[in-house]
Amino acid sequence: MRARRRTALGSRRSGALLALTVLAAGVLSGCTGGDAAAPSPTPTSERPAPPTPSSTPSPTPEPEPTEAEAPAPLVELTGDRVGDLVIGEPVELAQVEELLGPADEVAAFLADCGAPHLDHAMFAGLAILIDTDDGSLFGWTQQGEEPAAGVAYPHDLGPGAAYADVAALPGAQTGYVENFQVESVEADGVVWWFETTDPASPAVVLGSVILGCG
């Protein structure tokens, strides 16, 4: 009777061991058997694209310096000329305007002042006188304290010049104009008029010829 129990017990243990062995084999088979899992791909490190060279804007070329235009030469007023126009010789108004620019006014001189045959072209306070009888340049007269633009006065003594400076010119002759009651200085064919002989008295009129009603 004991021998059967042992045999039976032994048989059960042997069965249990066999079952464990089979189970273990199944577990191992599940871990290592069958289709092997595909290995995950190793990420490849992407190479950075080479930097694109930045397009540097071309420098804007600087404008070449241009030479400044030389100022027009001054028109010299003398006792016998207006620039290159000679007093007493034929002249056209267009020639005068070519030197001095467009005239502000062109009109006949007042007949009551004894010169009906004269036209005067005005350039600010500068009058250019033209003889309408023969078409010649009669002369010039500057009035007022404002110098005309673009002209050079005799000895650089224009409107407002001091009496002492004009009277000191070589060969200057002083005088008094009774009908206009002004002091005068004449030199190199040009006449300057002053209100007094005070050394600082300014010239109020000058010209190669001075006409007026008095």
Amino acid at 168: A
The string of pLDDT tens digits covering residues 74-99 is: 999 999 999 999 999 999 999 999 99
Q: What is the mean pLDDT of residues 137-150?
A: 92
Q: Which two tokens stand for residue 26?
A: 């199944």
pLDDT band at 110 (very low <50, low <70, confident <90, very high): confident
Q: Which two tokens stand for residue 173?
A: 């002759």
Specify the higher pLDDT residue, 23 or 131.
131
pLDDT band at 68 (very low <50, low <70, confident <90, very high): low
Q: Is the pLDDT of residue 62 over 70?
A: yes
pLDDT score at 46: 57
Contacts of 169 (CB under 8 A, 6+ apart): 155, 157, 185, 187, 188
Q: Is the pLDDT of residue 142 over 80?
A: yes
Contacts of 143 (CB under 8 A, 6+ apart): 125, 127, 159, 204, 205
Instruction: Tell me the pTM.
Output: 0.67
> Which range is least confidently modeled, 4-13, 176-185, 193-202?
4-13
Q: Is the pLDDT of residue 15 over 70?
A: no
Give the start-to-end residue ranges of the domains of the chain: 75-207
Q: Would you tell me how many other CB atoms lie within 10 Å of the CB of residue 202?
A: 15
The string of pLDDT tens digits covering residues 144-186 is: 878 889 999 999 999 999 999 999 999 999 999 999 999 999 9
For 2, 6, 15, 24, the CA distances from 11, given in Å and listed in that order, are 14, 8, 6, 20
Q: Is the pLDDT of residue 45 over 60?
A: no
What's the chain look like in SS3? CHHHHHHHHHHHHHHHHHHHHHHHHHHHHHHHCCCCCCCCCCCCCCCCCCCCCCCCCCCCCCCCCCCCCCCCCCEEECCCEECCEECCCECCHHHHHHHHCCCCEEEECCHHHCCCCEEEEEECCEEEEEECCCCEEEEEEEECCCCCCCEECHHHCCCCCEHHHHHCCCCCEEEEECCCCEEEEEECCEEEEECCCCCCCEEEEEECCCCCCC
